[in-house]
Amino acid sequence: MQEEQSEFRHWDQLPPDVLGLIFTNLSLQELLTVIPPVCKSWSKAVTGPYCWQDIDLNEWSCRCQPHQLDRMLRMLVTRSSGSLRNLHVSGLLNDSIFSFITENAGSLQVLRLPHSKISDSIVEQTAQRLSTVTFLDLSYCRKIGAQAIEAIGKHCKLLVTLCRNMHFLDSAGKDEPEDEANAIAATRPRLKHLELGCHNISTECVLNIISSCPQLEHLDINSCLSVNRDRKFFKEKYPKLKIVGPHEEKMFKEFGNLEFTFIDHDFLYDDDFFQSMMDDVMEELAG
């Protein structure tokens, strides 16, 4: 009986990497507020890199205060200790936090930063740090343009998925609306999945992308109103390529079918609670 019992370990005796694998099934709230007080080994596991190789703050970032997002990102990315593989967050407010992310992107494969206020210049300066990224979402980032897209194409040679959807007004306000698409065609021969919803581009521009990206499997040009709307035109010319759009009807149907879900809890959105939680975390790290 004693020999059989020796084969089993108590929860607090499991290695940090095993605990981290288990804890990844928990919510952000549980990881930050429930797990640390349980015991030292659990606290060590959540303050180490094992729980933070995949960080999804998308839902939370849409509701938090700007300074909360910045502090939370810096804390969790620091905890990942260079092992970050997947990051999803909306609405980065400045170039500084984007630069910080790229400094810790040595293992990053998936980067989703929709609605972020990052500039062409910071993307050009840091794109070489994103060489391991295979999936990139920069949809609705209004401040970047062809310069950033070209820099990404130059340095992110492993990139196979690019999401660069826009809003109508943002796309219509561009002086050279096809520059981004042309930069994609010139620098992304390995792309397999491309989203360019609502871009003000022509049929010729789309054909240039398709011919320049021979591995392309999925092209979303929904609501690109200047593109030929005849589905047969693309289907006959590129039968193996899945094309979404360019008709705009789908977009209006989606707006009509939207269902809004309101979260009734205020975890980490209350500024006093957030400050208290962050103070506790900083004490743990200092200890």
pLDDT score recorded for residue 255: 41
Strand partners, 135: 110, 161
Quickly name the fold that domain 13-51 has: Monooxygenase (1.20.1280)
- Give 256-267 as a DSSP string: HT---------T
**Distance of alpha carbon 96 from alpha carbon 118, whole angstroms:** 9
**Distance of alpha carbon 205 from alpha carbon 191, whole angstroms:** 16
Mean pLDDT by groups of 10 residues along the chain of 287 residues: 53 74 82 82 83 90 85 93 95 96 96 97 97 97 95 96 91 79 93 95 94 95 87 84 73 43 45 61 52
Segments making up each domain of the chain, as ranges: 13-51, 55-159, 162-249
CA distances from 251 to 50, 102, 217, 232 (A): 40, 33, 21, 20
The residues near 275 (Cβ < 8 Å, ≥ 6 apart) are: none
